[in-house]
Structure 1
Amino acid sequence: MSLPKSNFHSIYFFFIFSLLIIPEPLTALPGTTSSSTRTSTRRISSATLQRNNPNRTIQDCSDIGSRSNCSSNAKCKWCRSDTVDDFCFSKSEAWRLPSQVFTCD
């Protein structure tokens, strides 16, 4: 007994669609580690690293919260604004900010 063409196409489409949508759960079997799990456990924010590191050196200008600390870092610029909060940016970011909104030291 053969299926009508419309049912065959529906089943075929469902099978192909399910293969495209569900590949991750098939690879995450018990006892295995999926690639997304491995990469997510390796990601640690710079703020966490600085908090846990006794020899803290701020790598990212956006982590600096005060004008004096920002100005003391040669890679950073403190930018003021009447519209949004003042913020520390890297020199390359500060250069691209709109001059109508920000004034950078």
Structure 2
Amino acid sequence: MVDTTVGIDINTKSGGLEGIYQRRDKFGHFQPTTIAGYPAVQAIDYRDAPKQGDCVTLVGVAEERLITASIAIGDRKHPDYSSACKISDQAAALVIENLKGAK
């Protein structure tokens, strides 16, 4: 059994954060936030996903570009199972900080 899966993606096809905001009513969970100084949003299809081990954090890094960090925690006993967005936010922040350091 896989305990936790993390996915990182560079998205250039969704219209950036503006495109995500335009479709906000399609997400059950939609929570604006800030990651490493960049505008971001937690967005996932069903409302209770973050309490059930799943979350996606999308960070606007340019007008048409997003860094997407997704998390799926399969073990209900995992200490962060009911706060999955905390982990997807942390993963997104690590990516942003590494990209800043690569300049």
Report TM bin, short chain.
under 0.3
Bigger relative contact order, structure 1 or 2 (CA pairs below 8 A, ≥6 apart): 2
TM-score where L is the length of structure 2:
0.25
TM-score where L is the length of structure 1:
0.25
Report the structure, 1 or 2, having the larger strand content: 2
Larger Rg: 1 or 2? Answer: 1
